[in-house]
Structure 1
């Protein structure tokens, strides 16, 4: 259904939202998103391949001297805060909905989007550090809205572009990735795993979010640094155990994923069938939801890092996409395909829980349930901060407290929306956030190349001096 049919569509909100979603995530935006990643990959010399070992070394062995630089939190805390906002329902529920709608081939397109997205994540987070400022409260303020206004010379369009990004960021925090998909996933997991009614889940989440978010970025980062690494490792180990116990099915699962990426997938069981175009659309859209490369959210956390060199933070932030999609989403997708749960009648969190209970029987459902609750909770915290920085850009620090009150209030209502409505709405507002960010990245492409060359030339000079 194209955009013109919006006015002749069925008179229900979901049909209208699906029409808008198809228009927003049509071929132009998909090409724009992946094309930007391809351009940056080529212009930066496949930085996500050749510089990944260095980036991982920065994450595993942080330089203590970085803590002497200006910033609110450490580089590792900035990374885990960004990962807190990305490793969530996109990795568990998002992969399930992508495969349920687009077939196993959607996972291949998630991989492709993540590979090129790593270059995009590097560029946007590097720009965030280069053009960050300090707000009235003495905190670091950065992200696309700041590198748009501070990096682009033509204020006639840079200010409206930055304003549009900040407004879209608040919409994503309220109605997209930030609240509704996460709260809904937590409620589903609590019901599936522990038989807890959604009403009680909503109360507990609201109270916990309020307790953490009042403390701001430092409080959020403290929680993220503990929860994210622990739960990610536990979840991945659960996936590895399922794959190891069903290793004979792995070759056929990989073959099905690759084959389905380029051919239509026939209906099977509870799967209704899918075209290649739908696999591409679902894979890239859910990939962006999961790793947020090009979305412009991670740069907001990166800007708070105590670090001097913009390129170094870009490298550290780039690993977030690697961890999120190449590792965690891949694990989920392979488990869904190997266990055959993608053809079941289940969807969303129920589909992934079914896959794990099939693969690990008694403990599988608890790995998914507990993991999803923690992942989704940290995502809510991370997006609270992203939206807060967007509000600060638009109206100043006086808007932060009213924003937090609204955010916390919306948390309690997320359990009552339907899954289809939540994901379509999230896709739409995500797409609106992507557009101004990608325009800014391409407009600042020479700055990105210059800063990158300068940093690596400096590293070479240091190594030559020893």
Structure 2
């Protein structure tokens, strides 16, 4: 059995029916339990997120402004998964995979909103005003302290191991190097070296520096990529409309073999759509809540709005543009995959300039994701080493300097061994499955706390007569 075949089997097992159904079930349960809140209040969500970009904060404790916090999270989510990941989903699962990405994202808006709300509610508050939280924190406090569940520790360890596996198996530097080499013929190893130097320039300043830089980079990179994609889609509007029809049809009938595309079943479209949706928007993965936990906010649910917005922007907007460009240009059946497929589609739509647009987008998306994920690892380490000040300081210092190295080593390994892009993305699927499953189960157990906080928010914000306010908005109050 080849390595690629083994990874396909392992990924198929991990992303098989149990996890797919768990992702969709938890999202639906939270959506129904909240009264379809993300759909009923979509206007309110956009007004109080997109409409408040640049506003300092709503008050409250924390290190970063709400937008700086969501910029770190968006930097982590709007990454190469939006470009290469979507292309990989279509290349393996067919156009129908896009439909399941949308479904997963729509219910995932509420999943992410719940994760963020819980992370802010259960976060640690330090004397210097800094705040840190995330899944391991709400496992400790929500499961351990409030409910007396002793098994929170092994769950937290397994979650942390799953997240830290991506420290060694990371796709950003590799995908950026591949794209720049494809477009500008610059050696991948040289690109990788420049990439890690640029990463050091940000992460050596710590989480606050990451928040400041990403708050400038994220809006620019999103607008730059969206405008280029929309130009291709609108200039080929009839083909785009046909493409939408193909997406819906293929989601329920599968896709026959055509051109270089080998064909895909409905189950393969579902599997790839859900897996790539989570890898892209991270709803249920448990990563972004760690960034949101640092935000200054007066109510946990208020920061949760940014979580819902994050999924909407990432998948419903950016991923959809990538998918429609690939399908509209007809390149989806070319047999190409990953970043190469998206590059080919943009080149067909805009000529050589299209390749430049995607390459710059991949660089910005990848680099911002790498800097954003630095925050996640640091927050997990802070929780693990809490109370061990000397060891804590030493390990964080070592981590800061080691962080970009594994990504560069993957580039070296890929160049020297000829590692195919498909194998790299299969590795990404494997590393994202374990923490996602654990986090979703914990979120499901702690859902009553979210519903309690949401009722409080509805009472304060919308004056709902049936809603009741709570005395403690934050666990440590």
Counterpart check, 1:265 vs 2:255 = yes
Deviation of 1:43 after TM superposition, in Å, equals: 0.4
> For residues 25-424 of structure 1, what are the structure 2 equivalents within 5 Å?
25-59=15-49, 60-61=51-52, 66=57, 68-134=59-125, 139-152=130-143, 153-175=147-169, 180-396=170-386, 397-398=392-393, 399-415=395-411, 416-417=413-414, 418=419, 419-424=421-426
Distance (Å, rounded) in 2 between the aligned partners of 1:215 and 1:270: 47
Query: Could you say what secondary structure the match of 1:156 adopts?
Result: coil
The unaligned stretches of length 5 or more in structure 1 are 1-9
* Shift, 1:231, TM fit: 1.1
How far did residue 362 of structure 1 move?
3.2
What's the C-alpha RMSD, in Å, of the aligned pairs? 1.7
- Aligned residues of 2:102 and 2:315 also touching (Cα < 8 A): yes
TM-score for the superposition, normalised by structure 1: 0.93
Per-residue deviation, residues 211-266 of structure 1 (Å, max 9, x unmatched): 21111111111111111111111111111100111112122111111100011211
1:370 to 1:272, Cα distance in 2 relative to 1, 3 A: same
Partner of 2:456: 454
* Equivalent position of 1:426 in the other structure: 428
Offset, 1:402? 2.3
1:324-372 deviation line (CA, Å, top 9, x unaligned): 0000000110111110111113221111111011111131111101011
Q: Quote how far apart the aligned CAs of 1:405 are.
A: 2.8
Deviates more, 1:413-422 or 1:381-390: 413-422
Q: Report how far residue 52 of structure 1 moved.
A: 1.8
Runs of 4+ in 1 over 6 A off after TM superposition: none
Q: How far apart are residue 406 of structure 1 and its match?
A: 2.7
User: Structure 1 pair 103/462, CA: closer, same or farther in 2 (3 Å)?
Assistant: closer
CA distance, structure 2, for counterparts of residue 85 and residue 387 of structure 1: 12
Higher mean C-alpha displacement, 59-68 vs 240-249 = 59-68
Structure 1 pair 352/128, CA: closer, same or farther in 2 (3 Å)? Answer: same
Relative to the length of structure 2, the TM-score reads 0.91
Alignment-derived partner of residue 475 in structure 2: none
Q: CA deviation at 1:194?
A: 1.5
| Alignment check: 8 A CA contact 1:167 1:390 kept | no
Q: CA deviation at 1:67?
A: 5.8
CA deviation string 1:307-340 (max 9, x = no partner): 1200111012210000000000001101111101
What is the count of residue pairs matched by the alignment? 449
What do residues 165-199 of structure 1 show as CA deviations (whole Å, max 9, x unaligned)? 12222113432xxxx31111110111122111011
